[in-house]
């Protein structure tokens, strides 16, 4: 019984700690794929080019014209401040943006519009450093604790 409780604690504690590191956000595409779009494409072609389906309906009017919102992320760069130049650094994901695609009644796109996103997105990141710390600190601590408990029982 006691070994079962210890084993359960060993498994449960790291699992609970890692749960808070999970990413929650919408499916999105990249700005490079958005740049490939052009008016005259069908809804199916736009979805295929972006690799995602619409995130939300923006407008749907009585004439059959409608527009959908797609989410995409810009490309930023990260670099050390004192080495900052026009194009140096490594690529990184930037902020979320909304792409509004306007379609006529035959599902042919006639306009694309980009704007900052209105939605609040949960930006919990899976932090590799946190996981490494959990593994390198908690696991040895638990093993030492179990070793001490074993010595005391002998």
For residues 95 and 153, membership in a common domain is answered with: no
Based on the domain organization, do 140 and 77 belong to the same domain? no
Number of domains in the chain: 2
pLDDT of residue 109: 94
* Residue 70 confidence (pLDDT): 95
Rounded Cα distance, 36 and 78, in Å: 25
Claim to verify: residue 82 and residue 19 sit in the same structural domain: no
State whether 116 and 137 are in the same domain.
no
Is the same domain home to 34 and 104?
Answer: yes
Partners of 76 in beta bridges: 92
Is-contact 63 105, C-beta < 8 A? yes
Query: Quick one: 51 and 93 in the same domain?
Result: yes
Quick one: 2 and 12 in the same domain?
A: yes
Instruction: Specify whether 109 is located in the same domain as 129.
Output: no
* Structure token digits, residue 19: 């749960």
Question: Where do we find the tokens 């490939």?
Answer: 36
The radius of gyration computed from the CA coordinates of the chain, to the nearest angstrom, equals 25
Looking at residue 120, its pLDDT comes to 62
Confidence at residue 149, expressed as pLDDT on a 0 to 100 scale: 67
Kindly report the number of other CB atoms within 10 A of residue 67's CB atom: 20
3-state class (DSSP) for residue 70: strand
Question: Helix (H, G, I), strand (E, B), or coil: what is residue 17?
Answer: helix
Whether residues 82 and 153 share a domain: the answer is no
What is the distance between the alpha carbons of residues 108 and 106, in angstroms, rounded to a whole number?
A: 6
Q: Same structural domain for residues 19 and 41?
A: no
Q: How far apart are CA 67 and CA 36, in angstroms?
A: 18
Q: What is the pLDDT along the chain (154 residues), one digit of tens a residue?
A: 566 777 666 676 666 666 655 666 788 899 899 999 999 999 999 999 999 999 999 999 999 899 999 999 988 888 777 677 777 778 878 888 999 999 999 999 999 999 988 766 555 556 666 777 777 777 777 777 777 766 666 6
Is residue 73 located within the same domain as residue 147? no
14 and 36 share one domain: no
Range of the domain at 32: 25-123
């Amino acid at each position: 019984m006691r070994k079962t409780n210890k084993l359960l604690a060993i498994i449960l504690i790291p699992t609970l700690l890692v749960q808070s590191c999970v990413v929650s956000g919408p499916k999105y595409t990249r700005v490079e794929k958005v740049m490939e779009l052009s008016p005259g494409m069908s809804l199916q072609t736009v979805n295929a080019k972006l690799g995602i389906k619409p995130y939300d309906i923006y407008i749907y009017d009585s004439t059959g014209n409608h527009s959908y919102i797609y989410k995409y992320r810009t490309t930023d760069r990260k670099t050390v401040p004192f080495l900052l130049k026009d194009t140096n650094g490594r690529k990184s994901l930037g902020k979320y943006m909304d792409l509004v695609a306007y379609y006529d009644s035959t599902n042919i796109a006639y306009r694309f519009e980009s704007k900052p996103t209105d939605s609040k997105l949960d930006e919990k990141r899976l932090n590799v450093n946190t996981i490494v710390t959990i593994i390198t600190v908690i696991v040895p601590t638990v093993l030492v604790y179990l070793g001490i408990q074993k010595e005391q029982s002998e």
